[in-house]
Amino acid sequence: MTRKDKVLQLLRENLNMWIEGPEIASPQVGGSEGLKRLRELREEGHRIETRPHPNKQRDVWIYRLVGDEKVKPGLWLCTRCGETVKDKPEEGVRRSVVENMAMSNCWKCKKQTIWQFKEKEGF
């Protein structure tokens, strides 16, 4: 699998979720030219959005692949209060390569929280 394929795989696994640039440029994914792979993917027609990190103290950019592909069935779980929702928390910033996580405010406990995606069987 090429570096560009690995970057695209990471983006597809986290469709519509923000991913930090250093994660894309990590040795496991895109390597030192990871952000160049993003430009190549854009040239191929992939819709990849870019913006500065919402935390002004973080001097990094974040990226996301925008699409309307079907996402695996499951629920998002607030790790603070246990609230579950079907829709992805808005403006989620991806936090982990291994687990589908997003950081956003919880509708129930009204606090900044980490949402974790849990796949559900039987959908």
Average pLDDT, integer, range 83-102: 61
- Say how far apart CA 74 and CA 77 lie, in whole Å: 10
- Say how far apart CA 54 and CA 91 lie, in whole Å: 10
Q: Which domain holds residue 114?
A: 74-119
Distance, first Cα to last Cα, the chain: 31
The pLDDT value recorded for residue 89 is 63
Of 65, 88, 110, which marks where a domain is finished?
A: 65
Hey, what long-range contacts does 94-101 have (CB within 8 A, 24 or more apart)? Answer: 94/14, 94/17, 94/18, 94/19, 94/20, 94/23, 97/10, 97/23, 97/28, 97/29, 100/13, 100/14, 100/17
Beta strands in the chain (DSSP E): 19-20, 48-52, 61-65, 74-78, 84-85, 101-105, 112-119
Same domain, 15 and 34: yes
Same domain, 50 and 99: no
The pLDDT value recorded for residue 65 is 92
pLDDT of 95 > 70? The answer is no
Same domain, 55 and 87: no
Same domain, 46 and 23: yes
Same domain, 82 and 55: no
- Say how far apart CA 81 and CA 106 lie, in whole Å: 9
Same domain, 8 and 60: yes
Same domain, 81 and 108: yes
Same domain, 45 and 93: no
Tens-place pLDDT, residues 38-89: 999 998 888 899 999 988 888 999 999 987 544 456 777 888 898 888 766 6
Same domain, 17 and 50: yes
The pLDDT value recorded for residue 88 is 63
Q: How many domains does the chain have?
A: 2
Same domain, 59 and 82: no
Same domain, 80 and 111: yes
Average pLDDT, integer, range 20-33: 92
How would residue 123 be classed by pLDDT, with cut points 50, 70 and 90? Answer: very low
The pLDDT value recorded for residue 97 is 41
